Amino acid sequence: MVLVKVLGGIDIISSVVFLLLAFNVTPFIQVILFCSCLLALKGLFVFTGDVLSFFDLTFAIFLILAIFITLPGIMLWIPSLFLMAKGFVSFV
């Protein structure tokens, strides 16, 4: 039960980083790398059969790309809203 809440917290923190990028507030590169590494580690659950972990891997790639290029708004808002929803559901 506690593990689900920790993983949900990772989703919410990553969602906030996506929101910061969407509003052109540049977070520290270390924060972006930290969140992308956590999402990539969470994404490894895809090998256990969890389909939603594929999205975590994809969003980790988006965060790494955001360091080097400016992503379109849709590539920032959709991950942010999706991760926020996943995070809140894990706290319920």
For 67-79, write each residue's pLDDT tens digit. 999 999 999 999 9
**Per the domain annotation, does 24 fall within a domain?**
yes
The number of distinct structural domains making up the chain is: 1
**Per the domain annotation, does 91 fall within a domain?**
no
pTM: 0.91
Three-state DSSP at 51 gives coil
**Per the domain annotation, does 10 fall within a domain?**
yes
**Per the domain annotation, does 20 fall within a domain?**
yes
Domain holding 57, by residue range, is 2-85
**Per the domain annotation, does 65 fall within a domain?**
yes
**Per the domain annotation, does 27 fall within a domain?**
yes
Query: Are 22 and 1 contacting, i.e. CB atoms less than 8 angstroms apart?
Result: no
**Per the domain annotation, does 16 fall within a domain?**
yes
pLDDT tier for residue 1 given thresholds of 50, 70 and 90: confident
